[in-house]
Amino acid sequence: MSQKNETAVLVLSLLITIALAGAGIWWLTSRGGIPGGSSPENQTFSNSSTGNSLQSEQQIQQRLSAGKKLLISEKASTKKQAAVEAIASGNYNAAISDLEASLQANRNDPEALIYLNNARIGNQKSYTIAAAVPIGTDINAAQEILRGVAQAQNEINQNGGINGTPLKVVIANDDNNPEIASQIASAIANNSEILGVIGHFGSDTTLAASKIYQQNQLVAISPTSTSVQLSGVGSNIFRTVPSDRFAANALSRYMLTKLQKQKVAIFFNSASSYSKSLKDEFTTAVYGDGGQIVSEFDFAKGNFNAAESVKSAIAQGAEVIMLASNSSTIDQALQVVQVNAKRLPLLAGDGAYSAKTLQIGGAGATDMVLAVPWHILADPQSNFPQTSKQLWNAEVSWRTALAYDAAIALIVGLGRNPTRTGIQQALSASDFSATGASGPIRFLPSGDRNRAVQLVIVKPGNRTSYGYEFVPISGL
């Protein structure tokens, strides 16, 4: 081949290569595969927490909102959708009107109330906190937590703010996924306006995010993460929920003294820090109280079989079943409840405190005893049950109460010193105290809250639509 022909072929090959590369870049950009390649408004993101969870910066920003976008689109009214568009365009008066109308139709919507209070602030000076919740994977738990945050924000702003400065809330959806939570924690930490965080939901997720908050000297208060691994994890990490040690001790004492039983089989999820923590603490408490663990069954094993496991537990002499399930294994736990068919008494942690337990467990769950941080009927002297029911037109759960407490703690800290380091110093001070939904809020040097748990029992009742309800056990 002549040199001239070779040159022509080389030039043609180069042009083809450039064209293919350009087409590839265009395809990736149009798909959102390159950060900055397409506007966030035109992207849709999966709520799935499976597979590779690392997301682009734009995708993470899509998970945060102070009102410019909906994070909870389920059952969103046209007024709520219009309000979000109004906030995005800076028309706060229209947003306020639309959100008030939306809340009249659905009083039980915490996202709408948070956005309403944010819209009322508009562009004026405010203090900002974030609330990280699992919208994509546990919408009910996410809204329970947001109700507590929204109620505290609503109350403080209606009373003139924190020393005259209103409170703004940014909502973040982490799907209860540790990798996504770490990225969200970085985005929050890099936003200098955010002075504190309420979250995260699950213990694994909180543990992952806490490393970022600690590095950036940003206070985070979890209302729901109970794993003992969080004790002392960092000087900026607190929680308003008691650790698993309290729940384990209460359940062990109930089994040994009230049920008069000594041998127990434990069902748990080895893939969950919370579940492993509760199992380990319960094991320690049972042996310390003179009982015995006769067998353990792992929900995480691929060959887990509820019927065979219960049969095996009974064959090994179990007198009680303890369910240390987390939110992702509640279905397996309820299979155990059903196949047990009330043959053995049931104990459980707060992971089983769910409408599913009442709805699906039904008669088989009757007399099951759970350790939870708070119950709306357990403290008749508190004003919170009445004020929350009036605001939301419904009774609230322990997650709402302890999220409210987390928000109150941050509000008091902001009142003392409205800086990141100032809040940490305020919450760590020996004289720190605040009045929350569940009584005084004080933190141990470990960041834990020194507070007893509440035992509840499943009984037939009409306080729910399922024919069963959780009733507090008194006198323990």
pLDDT digits (tens, 9 = 90+) for 329-388: 999 999 999 999 999 999 999 999 999 999 999 999 999 999 999 999 988 778 999 999
Parallel/antiparallel/unpaired status of strands 468-472 and 454-460: antiparallel
Which residues are paired to 219 by β-bridges?
196
- Domain range annotation of the chain: 54-242+375-443, 244-372+454-472
Instruction: List, for residues 6-63, the tens digit of each pLDDT value.
Output: 334 333 443 444 444 444 433 333 333 322 222 222 222 233 333 456 789 999 999 9
- What's the pLDDT tens digit per position in 217-265? 999 999 999 999 999 899 999 999 999 999 999 999 999 999 999 999 9
pTM: 0.84
Q: What is the pLDDT of residue 90?
A: 97
Please report the pLDDT score of residue 22 as a whole number.
42
- pLDDT at residue 68 greater than cutoff 70: yes
Kind and range of the H or E element at 284? helix 273-288
In terms of CATH, what superfamily is 244-372+454-472?
Answer: Response regulator (3.40.50.2300)
* Contact status, residue 257 vs residue 475, Cβ threshold 8 Å: no
Q: What is the token pair recorded at 33?
A: 């595969």
Give the model confidence (pLDDT) of 132-156 as tens digits. 999 999 999 999 999 999 999 999 9
pLDDT of the residue at 52: 56
User: Could you check whether 54-242+375-443 and 244-372+454-472 share the same CATH topology?
Assistant: yes
**3-class DSSP state of 373:** coil
Tell me the pLDDT tens digit for each residue of 400-440: 999 999 999 999 999 999 999 999 999 999 999 999 998 89
Query: Is 351 strand, coil or helix?
Result: helix
* pLDDT tens, residue by residue, 118-134: 999 999 999 999 999 99
Residue type, 423: I
Instruction: Tell me phi and psi for residue 177, to 5 degrees.
Output: -110, 120
Instruction: Please tell me the distance from the alpha carbon of residue 296 to that of residue 448, in angstroms, as a whole number.
Output: 28
Q: What is the rounded distance in angstroms from the CA atom of residue 451 to the CA atom of residue 454?
A: 10
The alpha helices in 289-354, defined as continuous H runs, are 306-315, 330-340
Q: Are 117 and 161 in contact (CB under 8 A)?
A: no
Residue 421, pLDDT score: 98
pLDDT for the residue numbered 35: 26
pLDDT (average), residues 276-282? 97
Spatial contact of 268 and 299, defined as CB atoms under 8 Å apart: yes
Radius of gyration of the chain (CA): 25
Mean pLDDT of the chain: 89
Cβ 244 vs Cβ 451: under 8 Å: no
CATH architecture observed for domain 54-242+375-443: 3-Layer(aba) Sandwich (3.40)
Contacts of 26 (CB under 8 A, 6+ apart): none
Question: Do 223 and 250 contact (CB within 8 A), yes or no?
Answer: no
Of 283, 286, 293, 301, residue with least CA distance to 317: 293
C-alpha to C-alpha distance for 57 and 139, rounded to whole angstroms: 23
What's at 253, amino acid-wise?
R
Please state, for a pLDDT cut of 70, what percent of the chain lies above it.
Answer: 88
Distance CA 313, CA 219 (A): 44
**With left for phi above 0 and alpha for psi between -120 and 50, is residue 89 left, alpha or beta?**
alpha
